Amino acid sequence: MTQRVRTDWIAFSVSAGIVGLVCLGLVLDPDAGAVLLPQIYGFVAETIGPLYLILGMILIVFLVWLALSRFGTVRLGGADAPEEFNTLGWASMLFCAGIGAGLMYWAGIEWAYYFQTPPFGLPPGTPEAIEWASAYGLFHWGPSAWAFYCLPTLAIGYAYHNRGIPYLRLSTGCAGTPGFGAHQPLGRLVDTIFMVSLLGGAGTSLGFSTPMIAALAARILGVQASFGLEVATLVVTMVLFALSAAAGLRKGIQRLSDLNVGLIFAFLALVFIAGPTGLFIEAGVTGYGLVAQNFIRLNSWAEPFGDTGFVIDWTIFYWAWWIAYGPVVGLFVARISRGRTIRQVIFGMIGYGSLGAGLFFVILGNYGLNLQLTGAVDVVERLNSDGGAQAIVAIMDALPLDVWAMGLFAVAAVVFSATTYDSASYILASSATRSLPSGQDPALWQRLFWAAMLGALPITLLFVGGLRVVQTAALIASAPVVLIGLVMARSLMAQLIEDQPPQGKDRSGDPHPQPLE
């Protein structure tokens, strides 16, 4: 018996409407948008930025405590639940869920911004400033950042696997708090906010990676990079995805993403061998050492007396982006983490995630930095005159194998983007579906619709133009998710304490018999 898959028109129209209106407004008056968005960014970042730093620190302490506490050994799915995936498969899936083509962009070029405007008011060009330029990315993509993914993963995972709540939605992570059930108004609100934040977080990612892919394609094909080419890149990625979704090639796209991991690591290996291998190792060790020694300082530096804007421009932006992206990663990782203990989820996500992202920064970032320092390529000049995407092309041009290395990188970035469309549109479509009997997929038209919506935001942001404009999308999308994060932490703890009472009456082995609704 197949039940009907019903669209949830409220969630559908509210989230599509918000994103549609924003895009329409920006297209109708891009000049006003170019002025307004940076102002909004400045205002929001200055106002709530320090709060993000504080919450980030509290979160890390909370997670480490949770992992080491008696709740750390609680297993998702109950005490006897077997692990669904082996550790290597789990680690690579969680890594791929958590990052996208945005990592490829920023690992290549982030250092060049820090090189020009170093942290802590250091004078540019000093050995210390250069070491920080190489190291700071390891922090922005490191343990504190991955912690933002952990909370939704645990809150959703525990409610889903141990409490038998049958929905993979963000409201599932809030279900331990009265009023937040999937069909209650607050729960619906959470799921609708989730959809908007996902559109903002994924839109940011595509907003960074699209110009990079377009610039690489232009260089490989020998044509001029342009806004038209950027739109074409996004459309081709979207069509690739739509074709595979329409043909029901879910398995296909999964294989493609496995292949992608292979491609990207082959690329990193190539750079590692062809580039200054010894320097990568030295810079990696130094970078991790610097971040470890200064961990509290980095997490708490709010630049109260300086005016370089480093924290507002970078740490706050990154925290916002991780937060906005957190719920979708949480949903996915919760789903694949059955059989893992809370401790394994916390240390595994933070550990494997940080190491995977760090590898990109150590190899790709230091390759570019070394080109700059040896005078082989003036990457910084290229960045300032032609933008980040062209600066990446300049770095890639220095690699051996002519355009082949660059092609490998570009193909991996396209597949990363296509898989972002795939998972994001699937989750958006599920969130806007009222009842989705297990084993059934949301309607195809919805998935294609959301893929188009996911493309609309980055196209509009690119049309208005500028780093700040893209950053603003992430910042705004993150604000409501922070509030939901507090509810999730509360819900998780309420359920854990209820199921594992202090005086030895441990019920952690039993999945909750009834869905709590």
Residue type, 142: G
Nearer to ligand NM2 (CB atom), residue 337 or residue 420: 420
Nearer to ligand NM2 (CB atom), residue 90 or residue 322: 322
Local structure of residue 301 (DSSP, 8 states): -
The residue behind tokens 């907003």 is 207
Nearer to ligand NM2 (CB atom), residue 165 or residue 410: 410
Binding mask 321-340 for ligand NM2 (x = CB under 6 A): xx--x---------------
DSSP string, 407-453: HHHHHHHHHHHHHHHHHHHHHHHHHTEEE--TTPPPPHHHHHHHHHH
> CB 209 → ligand NM2: shortest distance, Å?
6
Question: Is the alpha carbon torsion for 245, 247, 250, 253 positive or negative?
Answer: negative
Residue type, 487: V
- What tokens were used for 195? 């959809």
The residue behind tokens 């355009």 is 403
- Using CB atoms within 10 A of its CB, is residue 185 exposed (0-12), middle (13-18) or buried (19+)? exposed
Contact between 205 and ligand NM2 by CB under 6 A: the answer reads yes
Nearer to ligand NM2 (CB atom), residue 181 or residue 207: 207
> CB 317 → ligand NM2: shortest distance, Å?
9
Local structure of residue 7 (DSSP, 8 states): E
Give the pairing type, strands 433-435 and 6-7: antiparallel
Say how far apart CA 70 and CA 141 lie, in whole Å.
29
Contact between 210 and ligand NM2 by CB under 6 A: the answer reads no
- 121-129, 259-267, 320-328, 364-372 -> range binding ligand NM2 (CB under 6 A): 320-328
> CB 442 → ligand NM2: shortest distance, Å?
22
Say how far apart CA 197 and CA 191 lie, in whole Å.
10
In the region spanning residues 90 to 119, those forming contacts with ligand NM2, defined by CB under 6 A, are 98-103
> CB 350 → ligand NM2: shortest distance, Å?
13
Contact of 310 with 110, CB cutoff 8 Å: no
Contact of 341 with 74, CB cutoff 8 Å: yes
> CB 38 → ligand NM2: shortest distance, Å?
20
Task: Give the side-chain half-sphere CA count within 13 A for 424.
Answer: 35
Nearer to ligand NM2 (CB atom), residue 205 or residue 341: 205
- 8-16, 127-135, 258-266, 319-327 -> range binding ligand NM2 (CB under 6 A): 319-327
- What tokens were used for 286? 């130094």
Nearer to ligand NM2 (CB atom), residue 102 or residue 284: 102
Nearer to ligand NM2 (CB atom), residue 176 or residue 387: 387
> CB 154 → ligand NM2: shortest distance, Å?
18
Contact between 315 and ligand NM2 by CB under 6 A: the answer reads no
> CB 200 → ligand NM2: shortest distance, Å?
11
Which residues of the shown chain bind ligand NM2 in the complex (CB under 6 A)?
Answer: 98-103, 205, 321-322, 325
